[in-house]
Amino acid sequence: MREITRILRPRKRERLDKYLKEAGISLSRNKLRELIENGNILVNGATVKPSHIVHKGEEIKVLYKKETPFFIKPQCISLDIVYEDEDLILINKSPGIVTHPAPGHLEGTLVNAIIYHCNLAGGTGKRPGVVHRLDKDTSGLIVFAKTEKAHLALSKQIETRKMKREYVALAWGDFELKKGVIDAPLGRYTLDRKKMAVTPLLSRSAKTHYEVIEKFGYITYISLSLETGRTHQIRVHLEHIGHPVVGDPAYGGRRRYPYVDIDSFKEIMSIIKRQALHARALTFRHPRSGREMKFEAPLPQDMQYLFSFLRHQKKN
């Protein structure tokens, strides 16, 4: 990986992220936004938002790292295949597996497994077939495209919010409202760039809808849907309103919640080693036929065990 610095001077008014793509910065739009939000792209020496309008005569300094292409190796890894045809493959992802390779984590991902399963040769593409992501320790439904045409069509559905993704979670606390919307902008956490936070600084809008399904006193089972798909969005938003996802090591889910006795807390932490968050349902139109398709995935074993514990406590 080599570090590159470029100085650019625009000749017309244009959105910064769009201008950078046209100027030949060979990075994805999401990566460019990340660089802007992290302060790696400066306009006249100052940080700005991705939506900033550049003007003729401004100086834009771009500092980024050019990643060396890496070979993605096909690997025989067990997959829970929910649906598959010539255009796409839908997986019920287990917690603990990464979606796609990245520097420092080149093997053991879903992409490695899918390349093997689909009898592809492997290659140096960074994220072949990836339409959307799930965090390493989030379980549930994720779809991959097998062809470029399918990838474009499915990605467009994500971009236009026509692909519907429903999640379920066990969150700490007793929700006062039956349903609600969390509308809070997300950006990088200044003290740890791997984490996100609710912040007005270099942030992007984010909306999460939630609805209570079942209450267990100090834990509530909820369904969630996203208007936006920001990194760690559900986890950060739930922590922001004081109801972190049970078990979440990064966003307050492994701290003892008030009104929970110490023995119950220890038992819960022994059952769930990760955030109790599951991508339960996925609805989209098939990229070839246009037919609407909806799939659901059952709760993983650790969340089922946690339900058994909570329901036993509720009865007693």
For the annotated catalytic residues, the residue numbers are 135
Q: What tokens does 256 get? A: 């003892």
CA–CA gap between residue 238 and residue 293 (Å, rounded): 29
Could you say which DSSP state residue 204 is in?
Answer: B
What does the radius of gyration of the chain's CA atoms come to, in whole angstroms? 21
The candidate with the shortest Cα–Cα distance to 167, out of 214, 119, 223, 212, is 223
Provide φ and ψ at 37, rounded to 5°.
-65, -30
CB distance 38 to 193 below 8 Å: yes
CA–CA gap between residue 48 and residue 202 (Å, rounded): 7
Provide φ and ψ at 21, rounded to 5°.
-65, -45
Q: What tokens does 32 get? A: 């460019």
CB distance 44 to 56 below 8 Å: no
CB atoms within 10 A of CB 76: 9
